[in-house]
């Protein structure tokens, strides 16, 4: 972003949480080699992880050298941060497969930028325990470690306790920073708010063993303002970057359903749109919030980033058709998407509307279905209908959208059969 320094853009986008810099403008005075580690204990990264990737991309756009670490070793141990109890350990084969998927997703998000991908299993797999204890463990005092919030909570009254395995996680992360300093000149670590303590382990280790000042910067935890909950969770669970776990349709809809108060923050964090563009979008949005232009812009930009521009345009077309309650213009691939994502059935002119409502799950019984029709609570292609049976004109290009009430989730695709 040519009209902003790095420190200014980080502050404007809301990426500044805690840092070891006395003055954030120190970031603007030289080229940094930074590293950011991504956990691989799950089979996919989530939209919560995506915030960290966008944090990294700000540094990349300003010309700084990026080292992206997939935690093949640390994921075998399990990060105790933010956890009330011990993680279930996973085998090396599972973590290895997770690392491969994480690397593919990271490469997709960082495409167009130069960066170095590393895996911390490469320098820990063959390390001897005595070397680790003498070369790394010797430099850590127990006192500050047990006082760290997430460890103190586990060790305190009512806590679940903590194993030496998870306790050692912060030493391993510190060792990563030291290794990347020694081999690639990294002097800055980026991370999430919950990684602050672990990041400091590397700063202390580099200072003690190399006499060099290293730095850390964390981004804030993203919170859904409407729910107060950690960002990236839905009623169905986490929103994954893997299309096999969260379909592009559900992914786009997740962003499209962003609450009004969060839309501007998410545009800054999760897109690369420049300040002027976001300000224009927000002016248009605030003049007419019913247009939902902020959410539409956000959903398109993030879906394009994660799933590609063609998929993003496809989801826009589907969403527009559903909003207009007219499916006549949808193509075969788009109809195939809807069959997977919403209740679907086949019907013909003359079929009972009440029976159709029950078939697609919009009514629990024929009695309820007949009541909904009688109460004018059913719409076909956006038009209220009290007809007891389907008409020829209800089918547009061989399909129709039937809806109970006003909520999009209470809709079903019906194709002529």
Q: What is d(CA 391, CA 409) in angstroms, rounded to the nearest whole number? A: 24
Q: What does the angle CA 90 – CA 230 – CA 297 come to, to the nearest 5 degrees?
A: 110
First-residue to last-residue Cα distance in the chain: 54
Tokens linked to 94? 């599972």
Q: What is d(CA 195, CA 82) in angstroms, rounded to the nearest whole number? A: 9
Q: How many CB atoms lie within 10 A of CB 258?
A: 23
Q: How many CB atoms lie within 10 A of CB 273?
A: 17
Q: What is d(CA 80, CA 172) in angstroms, rounded to the nearest whole number? A: 13
Write down the pLDDT at residue 256: 96
Q: How far is CA 224 from CA 11, 208, 234, 251, 259, in A?
A: 19, 40, 10, 16, 8
User: Model's pTM, two decimal places?
Assistant: 0.91
Tokens linked to 347? 């019907």
Is there a contact between 306 and 241 (Cβ–Cβ < 8 Å)?
yes
Greatest distance between any 2 Cα atoms in the chain:
83
Which of helix, strand or coil describes residue 51?
helix
Q: What count of Cα atoms within 13 Å lies in the side-chain half-sphere of residue 132? A: 16
Q: How many CB atoms lie within 10 A of CB 318?
A: 23
**Per-residue confidence of the chain (417 residues) as pLDDT tens digits?**
458 999 999 999 999 999 999 999 999 999 999 999 998 989 999 999 999 999 999 999 999 999 999 998 888 887 666 555 566 788 889 999 999 999 999 999 999 999 999 999 999 999 999 999 999 999 998 888 888 777 788 787 777 778 888 888 899 999 999 999 999 999 999 999 989 999 999 999 999 999 999 999 999 998 877 777 777 655 568 899 999 999 999 999 999 999 999 999 999 999 999 999 999 999 999 999 999 999 999 999 999 999 999 999 999 999 999 999 999 999 999 999 999 999 999 999 999 999 999 999 999 999 999 999 999 999 999 999 999 999 999 999 999 999 999 888 899 999 998
Long-range contacts of 7-13 (CB under 8 A, 24+ apart): 9/58, 9/62, 10/58, 12/268, 12/275, 13/54, 13/58, 13/268, 13/269
Which of helix, strand or coil describes residue 365?
coil
Q: What CA dihedral angle connects 368, 374, 380 and 384, to 10 degrees?
A: -140
Name the strands in the sheet holding 378-380, side by side, starting at the edge strand that comes first in the sequence.
Answer: 344-347, 411-416, 399-404, 378-380, 383-384
Specify the pairing of strand 215-219 against strand 378-380.
Answer: unpaired
Is there a contact between 342 and 413 (Cβ–Cβ < 8 Å)?
yes
Q: How far is CA 261 from CA 68, 252, 264, in A?
A: 32, 18, 7
Tokens linked to 129? 């325990």
Specify the pairing of strand 116-119 against strand 33-38.
Answer: unpaired
């Amino acid at each position: 972003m040519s009209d902003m320094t790095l420190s200014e853009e980080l502050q404007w986008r809301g990426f500044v949480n805690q840092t070891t810099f006395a003055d954030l403008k120190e970031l603007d005075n030289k080229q940094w080699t930074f590293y950011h580690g991504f956990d691989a204990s799950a089979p996919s990264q989530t939209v919560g992880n995506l915030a960290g990737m966008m944090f990294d991309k700000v540094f990349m756009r300003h010309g700084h050298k990026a080292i992206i670490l997939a935690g093949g070793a640390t994921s075998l141990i399990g990060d105790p941060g933010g956890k009330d109890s011990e993680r279930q350990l996973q085998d090396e084969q599972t973590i290895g497969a997770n690392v491969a998927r994480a690397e593919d997703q990271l490469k997709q998000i960082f495409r167009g930028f130069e960066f170095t991908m590393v895996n911390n299993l490469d320098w820990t797999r063959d390390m001897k325990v005595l070397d680790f204890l003498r070369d790394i463990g010797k430099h850590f005092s127990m006192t500050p470690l047990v006082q760290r919030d997430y460890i103190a909570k586990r060790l305190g009254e009512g806590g679940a306790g903590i194993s030496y395995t998870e306790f050692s996680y912060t030493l391993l992360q510190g060792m990563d920073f030291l290794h990347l300093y020694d081999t690639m000149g990294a002097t800055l670590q980026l991370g999430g708010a919950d990684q602050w303590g672990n990041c400091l382990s590397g700063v202390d280790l580099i200072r003690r063993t190399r006499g060099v000042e290293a730095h850390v910067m964390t981004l804030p935890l993203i919170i859904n303002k409407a729910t107060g909950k950690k960002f990236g969770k839905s009623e169905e669970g986490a929103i994954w970057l893997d299309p096999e776990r969260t379909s592009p349709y559900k992914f786009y809809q997740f962003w499209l359903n962003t609450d009004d108060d969060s839309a501007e923050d998410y545009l800054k964090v999760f897109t690369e749109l420049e300040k002027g563009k976001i300000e224009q979008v927000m002016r248009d949005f605030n003049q007419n919030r019913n247009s939902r232009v902020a959410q539409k812009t956000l959903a398109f930009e993030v879906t394009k980033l994660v799933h590609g521009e063609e998929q993003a345009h496809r989801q826009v077309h589907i969403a527009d058709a559903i909003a207009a309650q007219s499916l006549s213009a949808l193509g075969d691939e788009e109809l195939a998407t809807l069959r997977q994502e919403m209740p679907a059935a086949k019907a013909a002119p003359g079929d009972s509307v009440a029976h159709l409502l029950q078939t697609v799950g919009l009514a629990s019984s024929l009695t309820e279905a007949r009541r909904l029709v009688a109460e004018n609570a059913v719409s076909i292609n956006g038009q209220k209908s009290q007809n007891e049976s389907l008409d020829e004109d209800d089918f547009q290009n061989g399909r129709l959208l039937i809806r109970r009430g006003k909520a999009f989730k209470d809709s079903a695709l019906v194709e002529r059969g």
